[in-house]
Amino acid sequence: MNVTSKEFPNKHEPLPSQRPDNTAFTQQRLPAWQPLLSASLVLPFFFLAGLSFIAIGIGLLYTSDRIKECEYDYTGAQPGDNCYECASGLSPCNCNITFNITEFFQGPVFMYYELSNFYQNHFRYMTSRDDKQLSGFLDSLENPSNYCAPYQWNSEHKPYAPCGAVANSMFNDVFTLYYNDNGAYIEVPLVVKGISWWTDYNIKFRNPTNGNGNISDVFKVTVKPLNWSNPVFNLSDDPFNNGFINEDFIVWMRTAALPTFRKLYRRIESGNFTEGLPVGQYLLKIIYNFPVLSFEGRKKVVFSSVSWMGGKNPFLGIAYLVFGSLCTLLGFIMLIVFIKYQERADDDI
């Protein structure tokens, strides 16, 4: 057998060079600029940043303080509370809250419900959902994700729609607000349209379809979640607020980061209450469905006006003030140190 030199190259031949090309970029010889951080440059920056953040913080706090807000606890944990019988008995149950507004509540008014000691940020809870199912995929409707377990199939092996622990625990108290107009109670219109994020309602959540436009036919192969009283296709009479695109459902499915949180329930901006809530007595009728005493939680209903920065949030203004104060304090410390060492340097000369 003949063996050529190409198959066995000479070991004395030099290997190809691994050196990068001799260019300014590969050899890192490009011109660069590096600022010289002197006291005359750093100190004004710290003082300017500190004063700017303090000014912004004062503006944010002032705006937040001007937002009106009133909240009412209807947990019913103690005897004598408005909803004590509902909290200690079986649901559903009806209870009422009467309250007075002493000065005009500038609109638009947002109505929230608040839950405390409810950990929507628990990892197993957050992942117990099927986003493909909520996006309208028929295969995920009939075969929900394993992440939904144990709220994936019922005892007859029919899929839950929507599946998962997040959907199963959906907040389902119902509120109706009335205004006492000289002894006659007038219902305050509560607007549901627009309470969810635009991207959630128009993109993320979609109803499955089989082409005939009737979503109830599509959901025949599924069953309602364990804790729901109605199936998902019968959450509302409005076809644009039903099924997976029901806005109450969409709001609940956006999980909260903290154990105490608020979620938008309704907006008050129509009828005779477009400008806001007038002074007077109000009656809030509650259908008490959502239990909270089992996990030592509490429930509140909150009325709030809004500003350009949203709802009442003093934390943001306080954060700006703290950061601005720290920048200003560090600026004074560096100025003192600079003056001290500058005088020492002059004495050494």
pLDDT tens-digit readout, 32-81: 887 777 888 888 999 999 999 999 999 999 998 888 899 999 998 888 88
pLDDT digits (tens, 9 = 90+) for 181-194: 888 999 999 999 99
Confidence of residue 332 (pLDDT cuts 50, 70, 90): very high
C-beta of residue 63 within 8 angstroms of C-beta of residue 307: yes
pLDDT digits (tens, 9 = 90+) for 274-301: 888 999 999 999 999 999 999 999 999 9
pLDDT at 37: 78
pLDDT at 40: 81
Per the structure block, which two tokens stand in for 208?
């499955």
Q: Where are the domains of the chain?
A: 44-67+309-339, 73-105+119-255+277-298
- How far apart CA 94 and CA 173 sit, in angstroms, is 10
pLDDT above 70: percentage of residues in the chain: 93
Which residues lie closer than 8 Å to 265 by C-beta, 6 or more apart?
A: 111, 112, 113, 175, 190, 195, 248, 251, 301
3-state DSSP assignment of residue 189 = coil
> Which pTM value belongs to this model?
0.80
